[in-house]
Amino acid sequence: MKILGIETSCDETAAAVYDSKEGLLSNVVASQIDIHKKTGGVVPEVASRAHVEQIIPVINESLKLAKTSLEKIDYIAVTHAPGLIGSLLVGVNTAKTLSMILDKPLLPINHLEGHIYANFIRENENEKLKMKNCGVASRQLFKFPAVILLVSGGHTSLILMKGHGKYKTLGETLDDAAGEAFDKVAKILGLEYPGGPNVSRMAEEYRRKYPMTKSQCPINDQIQNPKNLHASRDQAKPDKNPKFMFPRSMLNSGDFNFSFSGLKTAVLYAWQRENGGRTLRRSEATGKGPTSVEARKQMFTYEFEEAVVDILATKTISAAKKYKAKTVSICGGVAANKRLREEIGDRVKKLLPTTLLNLPPIQYCGDNAAMIACVASYRIKKIKKEEIKKLKNLDFEVESNKNL
Ligand code: KG4
Ligand code: ZN
């Protein structure tokens, strides 16, 4: 059984072919990064137009790489919610047209469920081989109940997954999503779009430069004299470093909700204080070399990332404890964050030694169509033969907001 997956909910045009026996046969993602760099963020209308241009070539490429054709596809699966309406419409209308012309059943898939199923994508043998060569650790088994941290540009939730298709949202962000906070902090510091990976890269540079060394040197002096700039992860903690008390909002709220807008504002005010009351223009902020601005930016990205990771990891572990999770997992674009993966991994090992840890490979964390086809492959197993006809009715719409 071959499934063609289509994903166009935001700024990636993606198609994939997934075979229920062989696993993933192809996974093509056309990123719009270069287009949105110019405006420093996604302009919905521009994103939809780019999807229109890309969708057919991307589908063709995915079929070619999978060495198959539209006629040999058994099912089509498409993201219909949540996302940008104009972007979703391109994928959904393409999928509906293909379904009608080819007389193939079509499954509407929730994008958030897609992110969760990044954990279940099976690579075919060739892909596995590539993964081994890349030194990617193999994934552990996945047992239910699982606690899953879903962190993307639009969502931050903790989900209890009791079985395939069975979810309970334990908590979610009350304001900004974690990825949104990364993107906004990148803007404050004058870093390019997409913010998350750039903030993370810069924080990594800081860690590499000043690895785990403890220093008595107050942070203020460090800013004046970048040569004295030493930091340790301990210093990221508020009690050690009152000047950079980036808040860990709602850490002890007793529930599984999140809030990141206070953290973003704290970064903004601290940054403006350090730069004489103004945010740097991008051209100033991207100056090369170990200038004090560069050093300050690195420190800010580091402190910010430590705060976000601490909040996310703390709440994930306490949810896993409360619900006696057999597996802890993360998914969504922010799940590609190296520091988050490392911290969740460390805490599961130390605090929940009998719990499995499942981190989806990085290429399936951001938006892709393999995860959409993968949801369909599990859902189809449960559909009765007489219900398959109904999948040709095409009686579903796009929705900008939709929970699991
Ligand atoms: O899941 P995704 O690709 O799209 C949505 O469904 O929103 O997530 C995109 C988000 C963006 O906010 C991006 O900045 C963030 O994921 N992101 C990261 C990293 N890679 C992507 N955030 C932190 N560290 C990363 N390495
Ligand atoms: Zn996404």
Question: 92 CA to middle of ligand 2, Å?
Answer: 16
Does residue 112 have its Cβ closer than 6 Å to ligand 1? Answer: no
Residue 130 exposed, middle or buried by CB count within 10 Å (0-12, 13-18, 19+)? exposed
**114 CB near ligand 1 (under 6 Å):** no
Token output for 203: 């924080």
Tens of pLDDT, residue by residue over 99-145, are 999 999 999 999 999 999 999 999 886 656 455 444 334 455 799 99
Model pLDDT for residues 249-268, shown as the tens digit of each residue: 999 999 999 999 999 999 99
Query: Best of 150, 152, 157, 202 to mutate for ligand 1, by most ligand atoms within 8 A of CB?
Result: 152
Ligand nearest to the CA of 342: 1
Looking at every residue in the chain, the average pLDDT score rounds to 88
Contact 8, 369 (CB under 8 A): no
Residue in the block written with tokens 């596995």: 128
The pTM is what? Answer: 0.89
H/E element, 147: strand 146-151
Query: What is the Cα 313 distance to its own chain's centre?
Result: 15
Question: What is the 3-state secondary structure of 329-373?
Answer: EEECHHHHCHHHHHHHHHHHHHHCCCCEEECCCHHHCCCCCHHHH
pLDDT for residue 368 is more than 50: yes
Residue 336 Cβ inside 6 Å of ligand 1? The answer reads yes
Pocket mutation for ligand 1, best pick of 119, 182, 362 (most atoms within 8 Å of C-beta): 182
Region 78-84: what's the mean pLDDT? 98
257 lines ligand 1 (CB under 6 A): no
Q: CA 277, CA 270: separation in Å to the nearest integer?
A: 9
Which distant-in-sequence residues (6+ apart) come within 8 Å of 149 by Cβ?
Answer: 157, 158, 159, 312, 315, 316, 328, 329, 330, 331, 335, 344
Q: Is 110 in the pocket of ligand 1 (CB under 6 A)?
A: no
With 0-12 / 13-18 / 19 or more C-beta atoms within 10 angstroms meaning exposed / middle / buried, residue 97 is exposed
More confident residue, 2 or 291: 2
CA distance between the termini of the chain? 26
Residue-level pLDDT at 211: 76
With cut-offs at 50, 70 and 90, classify the pLDDT of residue 245: low
| Of 13, 87, 334, 400, best ligand 1 pocket probe by most atoms within 8 Å of the beta carbon | 334
- As a whole number of angstroms, the distance between CA 128 and CA 77 comes to 24
Mean pLDDT (whole number) for 281-292: 53
Q: Are 188 and 271 in contact (CB under 8 A)?
A: yes
Q: What is the pLDDT of residue 294?
A: 87
Of ligand 1's listed atoms, the one at least distance from the Cα of 152 is 8
Percentage of the chain surpassing pLDDT 70? Answer: 84
Q: Is the dihedral of CA 148, 151, 152, 156 positive or negative?
A: positive
pLDDT average, residue stretch 155-179:
98
pLDDT of residue 220: 42
Please give the Cα distance from 177 to 313 (Å, whole number): 15
Prior bond to 82 cis, omega within 30? Answer: yes
Q: Is 179 in the pocket of ligand 1 (CB under 6 A)?
A: yes
d(CA 402, CA 168): 14
pLDDT (0 to 100) of residue 128:
60
Cα 24 to middle of ligand 2, angstroms: 19
- CA 177 remoteness from chain centre: 11
Best CA proximity match to 201, nearest among 65, 337, 402, 347: 337
pLDDT at 35 over 70: yes
* Distance in Å, CA 11 to ligand 2 centroid: 9
45-71 burial, b at 16+ Cβ within 10 Å, e below that, comes to ebbbbbbbebbeebbeebbeebebeee
- Provide mean pLDDT across the span 7-26: 97
Q: Taking ligand 2, which is a single-atom ion, which protein residues have CB atoms under 5 Å away?
A: 152, 367
Q: How far apart are CA 13 and CA 29, in angstroms?
A: 6
pLDDT of residue 293: 86
- Please name each of the domains of the chain with its CATH number: 2-136+364-392 (3.30.420.40), 146-359 (3.30.420.40)
CB 146 within 8 A of CB 329: yes
- The three-state DSSP-derived secondary structure of 43-112 is CHHHHHHHHHHHHHHHHHHHHHHCCCCHHHCCEEEEEEECCCHHHHHHHHHHHHHHHHHHCCCEEEEEHH
Higher pLDDT, 275 or 32: 32
Q: Whose CA is nearest to atom 7 of ligand 1?
A: 153
Give the pair of three-digit tokens for residue 255: 């529930």
Query: What is the amino acid identity at position 8?
Result: T
Measured from the CA of 186, which atom of ligand 1 is nearest? 14
By CB atoms closer than 10 A (0-12, 13-18, 19+), residue 8 is buried
**Helices 44-65, 85-102: crossing angle, 10 deg rounding:** 40
Q: What is the pLDDT of residue 222?
A: 43
User: Each residue of 188-239: pLDDT tens digit?
Assistant: 999 998 899 999 999 999 999 887 643 433 344 444 443 433 334 444 444 4
Token digits of residue 72: 């040999």
